[in-house]
Amino acid sequence: MTRSVSIVIWCIWAVLIAGLTVGSAPDHAAVFTRDAVASDHAAASQAGAEILAAGGNAADAAAATMLALGVVNPASSGLGGGGFALYYSAEDASLTFLDFRERAPRASTRTMFDREGPRPPGPANALSQLGGLAVGVPGEPAGIEALVQRFGRLSLDKVVAPALRLAEQGFVVSEALAAMGNVFEAQLREDPVMSTWNLEEGATLKRSSLARVLRAFAQKGAAVIYGGVIGQEMVAAVQRHGGIMTLDDLRAYRVRTRKPLEATAFGHRWVTAPPPSAGGFTMVQSLLILQEAVGEDPSYGPSLLHAMVESWKGPFLDRQRYFGDPDQVILPIARMLEASRIRRRADLVDDDRAHPASDYDMPIEWTRNQLATPDDAGTSHLCVVDGEGNVASVTTTVNLPFGARFTGGGIVLNDEMDDFASAVGAANAFELVGGARNLPGPWKRPVSTMSPTIVLSGEKPVLCIGASGGSRIVTATQQVAMNILLHDMQADEAVTAPRIHHQGFPETLRVETLAPLSSALLDALRERGHDIAPIHNVANVQAIEIEHAPTRMLHAVSDPRKGGRPAGH
Ligand code: GLY
């Protein structure tokens, strides 16, 4: 994709996906004593809370919330997408990461998007973003089933019930969904299902074709989507739109269980997403660099914000150079996080001036064998804490709004293929530049920024956190977590506080117009040489802070930037 096209899409995205208004959702924060759900839609949080009240645990409630999100905000996530779940089990203090990211159809090739041609009208219209080739094999149905079967205690049909009710009886179209529907209206009009939707804010929308899928999923599980009539309809729709996904691709889809990435920094244990996410890695490396550069107890102010921006530049370069599907390329994570390398990057951080990102580039020396292939080869975040202390941190996505902007088998299909590099050095919709290791290939998972995170103090989880919003997911997640854990902000204040974003390339520091930094902070950053540009908002964060003493308190916050609301007991 050319840079100018990418920037246009980024701007559309900045205004839409990443959020709409702040301060318009007075109920966006709440304190509970037993259990809590924070998602970016009130009805979805309520679905999770209903399941908790019915005896479900955090896994059941997270699955119910995901399913409900897919009904009430089809622009952001759903059964046609995929995601990551990080699960803390209180029984044995274990942390498990489920990767149900979409993967490329088997017939995918490195050059499948490396061509320019006539484009259909409307926004986000590259081959990897709109239409059949954009669709990765969905992982969400298998991911939800795995979460419930491995960690839940209710049957799938009970977990599906709240979402099914929303689909059958209808729900009120939110401000966020209405705004996204407005921008993509002409493209949605082309689809037989989405063209029937009234997406005006406040309208009641029923989703009868999705209700049919949910009923089948409740009874028979993911196999009905990966094998049966629904799968056949999905494949037929993808192929009709010029795609290459087959029934074999669907049947062969597998959830991967991975070891979460973790680091100790600022007195806490940060547990987060491993590859194929680069988000968790970016946060972990940034925290380690920051700790070296500013000490263990930094106060909020221009020096810290400046150092944070500098700390993001190196990890985003590592992402470009090294990241790909961990099942298909070896990732030198330990080498990239070596203490000496962290120290070298921290030593480069000058308090009085910004460095160009290239100053932080530190290639790793590898032998040919280390580079060899190993043998085996629109987004929403939610947090759940249950009464037993289990925690689920889940990020789920169809990538750009309404995914590839068509449905198959009644399901909105993702356009996750845009998270691959269309060519070496080409930028995606979020201006993330991809390297050779992230070119498309058979059954490959594209690199992600999604960073579902749980932070522990000693043995106890103290924060469940994550975000939606493309490349800004990780920088937003990190800032809010630091606000809570280092700067003693209340969870609500921490989420609503102004945020900044830098991803190495472009060499621009984005600051929110929705929640503006003070002019004193802006001046201090400008004086250090940062090229500052406005952005509507930096992602949407959901968080639950877990206070254990003197009384158990769950501070649940849904980012008002997207209009969500938490629920619980
Ligand atoms: N599609 C957004 C992400 O995975 O980062």
At 431-468, the pLDDT tens digits run 999 999 999 999 999 999 999 999 999 999 999 999 99
The answer on pLDDT for 422 being more than 90 is yes
What is the rounded CA–CA span in Å between residue 407 and residue 230? 11
Predicted pLDDT of residue 337: 97
Domain ranges of the chain: 1-569
The residue to mutate among 397, 428, 431, 474, having the most atoms of ligand 1 within 8 angstroms of its beta carbon, is 397
117: pLDDT confidence band, cut at 50, 70 and 90?
confident
**Residue of 129, 380, 399, 472 to mutate, ligand 1, most atoms within 8 A of C-beta:** 399
| Buried b / exposed e along 272-291 (16+ C-beta atoms within 10 A) | bbbbbbbbbbbbbbbbbbbb
Residue in 380, 416, 431 to alter for ligand 1 test, most ligand atoms within 8 A of Cβ: 416
Of all residues in the chain, the percent with pLDDT exceeding 90 is 91
Question: Which residue(s) pair with 99 in the sheet?
Answer: 84, 256
Please say if the pLDDT value at position 203 is more than 90: yes
Please tell me the distance between residue 14's alpha carbon and the centre of ligand 1 in angstroms.
14
62 CA to middle of ligand 1, Å?
19
Closest CA to 445 of 81, 75, 71, 58: 81
Q: How far apart are CA 197 and CA 207, in angstroms?
A: 9
State the chain's mean pLDDT as an integer.
93
Report the separation in Å between the CA atom of 138 and the middle of ligand 1, taken as the mean of its atom positions.
Answer: 13
At which residue do the structure tokens 């669709």 appear? Answer: 135
The stretch 107-126 carries a mean pLDDT of 93
> Is residue 333 predicted with pLDDT exceeding 80?
yes
Q: Is the dihedral of CA 397, 255, 315, 337 positive or negative?
A: positive
Instruction: Compute, in angstroms, the gap from residue 483 CA to the centroid of ligand 1.
Output: 24
| 6 CB-near residues (< 8 Å, 6+ apart) | 427, 428, 429, 431
Residue ranges of the alpha helices (H) in 241-390? 247-251, 279-294, 302-322, 333-336, 339-348
484, containing H or E segment: helix 472-485
Q: How many other C-beta atoms lie within 10 A of the C-beta of residue 153?
A: 11
Res 470 pLDDT > 80: yes
Residue 372 pLDDT greater than 60, yes or no: no
Q: How many A from CA of 448 to the centre of ligand 1?
A: 5
pLDDT beyond 70 at 15: no
Mutate to test the pocket of ligand 1, among 419, 438, 445, 471 (most ligand atoms within 8 A of CB): 419
CA of 327 to the centre of ligand 1 (A): 18
Q: Which residue's CA is the closest to the ligand 1 atom numbered 1?
A: 399
Distance 81 CA to ligand 1 centre (A): 10
Q: Of all protein residues, whose CA lies closest to atom 3 belonging to ligand 1? A: 448
Q: Name the pairing type of β-strands 391-397 and 204-205.
A: unpaired
User: Strands, E, within 333-480: which ranges?
Assistant: 380-385, 391-397, 407-408, 411-412, 453-457, 460-468
Question: Residue 513 CB: number of other CB atoms within 10 A?
Answer: 13
Inter-residue contact 77 to 57 (CB < 8 Å): no
Ligand 1 neighbours by CB, cut-off 6 Å? 379, 397, 399, 416, 419, 448-450, 470
Ligand 1: distance of its center to the CA of 378 in Å? 8
Q: Residue 459 CB: number of other CB atoms within 10 A? A: 7
Q: Which atom of ligand 1 is nearest to the CA of 449?
A: 5
Question: Is position 496 annotated as part of the catalytic site?
Answer: no
Given a cut of 90, whether residue 5 has pLDDT beyond it is no
The Cα–Cα gap between 399 and 44 comes to 19
Q: What is the per-residue pLDDT across 270-328, written as a single tens digit (0 to 9) for each? A: 999 999 999 999 999 999 999 999 999 999 999 999 999 999 999 999 999 999 999 99
How much distance in Å is there from the Cα of 395 to the middle of ligand 1?
9
Q: Ligand 1, atom 4: nearest CA belongs to which residue?
A: 448
Q: Which residues of 222-245 are buried (b: 16+ CB within 10 A; e: fewer)?
A: bebbbeeebbebbbebbeebebbb
Q: How far is CA 204 from CA 28, 158, 182, 562, 563, in A?
A: 22, 24, 16, 19, 17
Give the pLDDT confidence score for residue 297 in this predicted structure. Answer: 95
The predicted pLDDT at position 566 comes to: 98
Structure tokens at 368: 């040919």
Statement: residue 239 has pLDDT above 70? yes
Q: Of the listed 272, 379, 453, 475, which one is catalytic? A: 379
Quote the pLDDT of residue 200.
98
> What does the pLDDT average to over 89-105?
98
